[in-house]
Structure 1
Amino acid sequence: MGRLAGKVAVVTAAAQGIGRATAQALAREGATVHATDINLEKLNELKDTKGLTVSKLDVTNKEEVTKFLAGIPKIDILFNCAGFVFNGTVLDTEEKDFDFSFNLNVKSMFFLAKAVLPKMLEQNSGSIINMSSVASSIKGPPNRCLYSTTKAAVIGFTKAVAGDFVSKGIRCNAICPGTIDTPSLHQRMEATGDKEQAMKSFLARQPSGRLGTPEEVANTVVFLASDESSFITGSEIKVDGGWAN
């Protein structure tokens, strides 16, 4: 029996990176996992994973989210992983960038949390885990103005949900990764035009001397999803190799 045996989980952005590693980790620990993403082709690589089902889902579409979650009778765990990293200062940011980032990084979490909370209230239990970042209210790295703003909002949203439902057996926490070795990170490094130098820069800011792995973040999600963390709510958990120390 795994640590999450009998629990049902929903994971967004599960096609690759942290979302993918987390969906696999939750399934290994015995959870029934609904892995979602807009990239169904990539997501289908997980379809043969024991205990895991895949579904295409646009988390920015309220109607789509509501319909999808209505079809799942019981939900114990929600991992809001979907997000986008916008690069630039406030002067580089246009209103369309602001709207897109907030819709994906923050509003999607509102849609999903609002849809799963009634189910969790019925069973008087549940764990909602939101993806924030060290690049938020914890630390302000250069050229991350919009991203840091959205991830700070995630922390505020997390604390509000935690406070409102702590007496109902529902917990809500945020995970704040540092620099994690994901396909998204490599895409951003390539976009600089000098991937080798970009990698050196990312490594230079890590006191640990290395990047984190998706699996290291996934392990933290598993802990927060399990009953082992039953006295933890409203917290932002850093998984950053000491970057924000």
Structure 2
Amino acid sequence: MSEAFAKEGAQVIATDINQEKLQELDATPGIRTRNLDVTQKEEVKALADELDRVDVLFNVAGFVHHGTILECEESDWDFTMSLNIIDAVGEGTVDTPSLRDRIQSRPDPEQAFKDFMARQRIGRMCTAEEVAHLCVYLASDESAYVTGSELVIDGGWSL
């Protein structure tokens, strides 16, 4: 996401709880990085107080419990819902490191991957870059009349 906006000329402040992942962006022109936990209101407020102006804000944080709903502790469910429930972009299965970790955590990773792929109506998973392109569009003048909508990018899965 950060790289897509920087490529369009935006000055980006990329935040994450994972400092190691942020370091991958340090050399990218137009991107500054900062360690931040978006679930901590005080941290978010401290960053907001430092900024003069924000034109576009994307919270790309997310969490999915590894395993079935029956294996999910109530605290994991509560955390997932509080972090993931507010969204303007409804993405389907996105091929990310997090998804790959979930697949690898299954008893049969090869079958888990096949199961994920079997649900993809267009025969492949969405890429993070495709989600980023949609978000760049939403931040652009071209989307000026788009408001109050959830945009679904799931390769037809929800049809």
Same fold (TM over 0.5): yes
Moved more, 47-56 or 191-200: 191-200
One-letter identity of the residue aligned with 2:68: G
Alpha-carbon RMSD across the aligned residues, in angstroms, is: 1.4
Does residue 125 of structure 2 align to residue 211 of structure 1?
Answer: yes
Inter-partner Cα distance in structure 1 for 2:49 and 2:97: 31
1:76 matched residue in structure 2? 55
1:178 to 92, 96, 104: 92
Q: Classify 1:103/1:178 alpha carbon distance in 2 versus 1 (closer, same or farther; 3 Å).
A: closer
Inter-partner Cα distance in structure 1 for 2:56 and 2:5: 10
Inter-partner Cα distance in structure 2 for 1:179 and 1:96: 24
Q: Percent identity over the alignment?
A: 52
1:223 matched residue in structure 2? 137
Inter-partner Cα distance in structure 1 for 2:73 and 2:103: 22
1:99 shift after superposition = 3.0
Secondary structure at the residue paired with 1:187? helix
CA displacement 1:131-169 (0-9 Å, x = unmatched): xxxxxxxxxxxxxxxxxxxx3xx25xxxxxxxxxxxxxx
2:116 to 198, 202, 208: 202
1:148 matched residue in structure 2? none
2:13 matched residue in structure 1? 34
1:98 shift after superposition = 3.0
1:113 matched residue in structure 2? none
One-letter identity of the residue aligned with 1:186: R
1:194 shift after superposition = 1.5
2:157 matched residue in structure 1? 243
1:34 shift after superposition = 0.4
Does residue 43 of structure 2 align to residue 61 of structure 1?
Answer: no
Does residue 26 of structure 2 align to residue 47 of structure 1?
Answer: yes
Aligned length: 158
CA displacement 1:21-58 (0-9 Å, x = unmatched): x1000000011000000111121110111111000001
Does residue 101 of structure 2 align to residue 187 of structure 1?
Answer: yes
Q: Classify 1:102/1:205 alpha carbon distance in 2 versus 1 (closer, same or farther; 3 Å).
A: closer
1:104 to 66, 78, 83: 83
Secondary structure at the residue paired with 1:81? coil
Relative to the length of structure 1, the TM-score reads 0.62
1:103 shift after superposition = 3.8
Inter-partner Cα distance in structure 2 for 1:60 and 1:102: 12
CA displacement 1:154-212 (0-9 Å, x = unmatched): 25xxxxxxxxxxxxxxxxxx111111111011001011121111111111111101111
Higher relative contact order (CA 8 A, sep 6+): 2
Relative to the length of structure 2, the TM-score reads 0.93
**Unmatched 5+ stretches in structure 2:** none
One-letter identity of the residue aligned with 1:238: V
Secondary structure at the residue paired with 2:57? strand
1:94 matched residue in structure 2? 73
